[in-house]
Structure 1
Amino acid sequence: MLKLHPSITILLIISAAIPLFFIYSVGGRSHRPDFPEFYGLLCAHRGLFKNAAPYDRPENSLGAFRAAVEAGYGIELDVRFSRDKKLVVFHDDTLKRLCGEDIRVCDLTADELASRRILGGTEHIPLFREALDVIGGAVPIIVEIKCPKDEKPVPLCKAVAEMLDGYDGPYCVESFNPKVVRWFRKNRPQVFIGQLSDAFLRDGHRGADYFAMHHLLVNLAGRPDFVAYNCRHADAAAFRVWRNIYRSPAAAWTVRSQKELDAIRDYYDCYIFEGFIPDENKMNENKNDNK
């Protein structure tokens, strides 16, 4: 019998263990909650918004949410804390892009934020409660929890969860922060929870955090039910493992044209879009082809 040198044996064991660890780490929890609305969902990114004159339905505004409900689309929206720990709907860390002020959202109270007009139009920065009241359970929503690195996730997660506990409508939750995903898995196991990610290394990002996000190694902590992945990188190896080995759900972000939607629709289950109105006849044709 061939006797291998101990160092070679160790190397072989490590070589075999690495891919097994990778496959294990990117997998979600084995018993995911039911969320049938997710499959085939066309979801308006930050509402069915238009960041142009007359600025009556800019992104993440009540006007954009009303427009999405009227059109029958799902809604993706962003939730974060104000300075006084109220839940507000706003994507960016600062007000600079949408309100012209270089100040962080977390440095203003909810009332101060409500006094600002998005892009100088008629819409204010809404509370999460206001958004839920406007949507009223009419369409599914994807709630993205914005939790910066310098913020403790537990108070924010608790506040979002407690508000959603009383919401009568279909929803799921997602975040780039794996600590948020893990908190919901442990404390709200009935909620369909997703890990947001991207092929960060392809875009020039470097560092351990980006490496873990790119390769979905953060799933080891969060054990998400679905992954929301940049639709431009459906060929990324980690994403393909997630889809092909685990047959797990995936959401595409952010689809910006019908051409792009047609190209990626077979790789995802849910489509977060902006800047165009999807051709639902083509989506229905695709469903029929897959029966």
Structure 2
Amino acid sequence: MIRLPVHIAHRALHDRRDGRPENSRAAIRAALDRGYAIEIDIQPASDGVAMVFHDAVLDRLTDATGPVAGHTADDLGRTRLRGGADGIPTLAEVLAMVDGAVPLLIEVKDQDGEMGPNVGPLEDAVIDALHGYGGEVAVMSFNPHAVAHLAERAPDLPRGLTTSAFDPAHWPELGAATRDRLRAMPDLDRVGAQFISHEAAALDMPEVARVRATGRSILCWTVRSATAEATALRIADGVTFEGYLP
């Protein structure tokens, strides 16, 4: 089981004003320098390589446009992150950088579109990249099918579910039935989740209390101030933070 820390740098210790875009090599180095655990996100390149990048499209974070999955890993590596000096790193590159120095929390982004069963290739790419990695690492996803696939392929890999209140205003791409189901968190036992990482603003949901009663750990996302951290830690065991230094 991974040692789930109290403070986890969200998309690494990023600050674009200081040349450290989210999920960048510079942000990874900054988190390592301060000894913070690191959360990163994974999207697929067109050739199946696991890339460390949050969005499904390039537009917000780079000067390029279109889906991440429409470009090869080499192309993405040459696509400079806005506000930084480097391109998009692969998961393998980030693992080599971290090299077990701090715990690493990997969120596999949904590729189905409706949090459904159309999963597998990206999860397999993550498992392949992790082969032989000796550091503390855990994986998670909003999509329970993704976590179930990870459990089947790598049963010893610590894993959890990323969870939320699934407010329709924030999740318009999901149908109401899907939002209701995910909000109820019925898949914890099925996927062997050892923790959840829950929306910080919704930690008072009764479902979170039920998760705690099972003995599972509670992380949360995203905390942006020391005041918000203190509030979150009344319920959560750890916070994924950005925008301040704990």
The structure with more radius of gyration? 1
Q: Deviations over 1:210-235 (max 9, x none)?
A: 11111112436423111110111111
Does residue 162 of structure 1 match 2:128? yes
The residue type equivalent to 1:83 in the other structure is: S
TM-score w.r.t. the length of structure 2 is 0.91
After TM superposition, give the deviation of residue 203 of structure 1 in Å. 4.7
Name the residue aligned to 2:166. Answer: 200
Q: Of 224, 229, 235, which aligns to 2:198?
A: 229
Does residue 262 of structure 1 match 2:227? no
Q: Is the 8 A contact 2:63 2:80 kept in 1?
A: no
Give the distance between the partners of 1:127 and 1:185, measured in 2 at CA.
22
Give identity over the alignment, percent. Answer: 32
Give the distance between the partners of 2:99 and 2:188, measured in 1 at CA.
32
TM-align CA RMSD: 1.8
TM-score w.r.t. the length of structure 1 is 0.78
Give the distance between the partners of 2:109 and 2:200, measured in 1 at CA.
20
Alignment of structure 1 residues 170-249 onto 2, 5 Å: 170-201=136-167, 203=169, 205=171, 207-219=176-188, 221-243=190-212, 245-249=213-217
Q: How many residues matched?
A: 240
- Unpaired segments of 5 or more residues in structure 2? none
- Unpaired segments of 5 or more residues in structure 1? 1-33, 279-291
The residue type equivalent to 1:60 in the other structure is: N
Does residue 45 of structure 1 match 2:6? no
- What is the DSSP-based 3-state SS (H/G/I as helix, E as strand, rest coil) of the residue aligned with 2:125? helix
Name the residue aligned to 1:16. Answer: none
Alignment of structure 1 residues 65-80 onto 2, 5 Å: 65-80=28-43
Alignment of structure 1 residues 72-111 onto 2, 5 Å: 72-111=35-74
Q: Is the 8 A contact 1:94 1:103 kept in 2?
A: yes
Q: 1:50 to 1:187 in 2, by over 3 A?
A: same
Q: Is the 8 A contact 2:162 2:196 kept in 1?
A: yes
Does residue 273 of structure 1 match 2:218? no
Q: Is the 8 A contact 1:95 1:103 kept in 2?
A: yes
Give the distance between the partners of 1:109 and 1:254, measured in 2 at CA.
30
